[in-house]
Amino acid sequence: MVNALIILCAYLIGSIPSGLWIGKIFYKTDIREHGSGNLGATNTFRILGKKAGIIVTVMDVLKGTAGVLLPLLPFFQETTIHPLILGAVAVVGHMFPIFAGFRGGKAVATSAGVLLGYTWLLFVLLVIVFLISLKLTKMVSLTSMIAATVALIYSIIYGIVIGEWALCILVAVLFFFIVYRHRANIQRIKNGTEPKVTWI
């Protein structure tokens, strides 16, 4: 019973449509009707501006972190589910949110939040990689996939050195999620038509 409930909570936390709610409550705008139509932070930056984009990014990151940390709550301490699995469930909630017609974001920020909750050192590394890559490429989609690749390489080395492969398996799953959700972006990058940011 506890395991079923904690999985449900992780999914519901991930399902919080930050971009949709921030847009509707404070800007009277449904970002699904503008730009890429995506509920993630990138489209929020594009449609609502830097302030809203930062807020939505932080909220999306914290959804993943909250999923990983759920077993710390007294009610859930008897769970036998690995925290990383709960983080992955939160990511699924972000991509397919019940509160937004199952049309969510592309998993990048929430995946980063999972890593923040489990291994902050990798999170810091990825933030640095993300900012440098974004400065050089101006493409959030390409930068996101570069960061995901770095995370995968790090987790493989971590598994070899530490001998604990849970992180590697989770990152591999998140890597698949991120690349799959960016398949249209990949095609636009190949065609040279991928939009570039101007705020960095």
Tens of pLDDT, residue by residue over 103-133, are 998 899 999 999 999 999 999 999 999 999 9
pLDDT band at 40 (very low <50, low <70, confident <90, very high): confident
Q: Who has greater pLDDT, 101 or 37? A: 101
pTM above 0.85? yes
Residue 163 backbone zone (phi > 0: left; psi -120 to 50: alpha; other: beta): left
Neighbouring residues of 87: CB distance < 8 A, sequence distance ≥ 6: 10, 64, 67, 68, 113, 114, 117, 118, 170
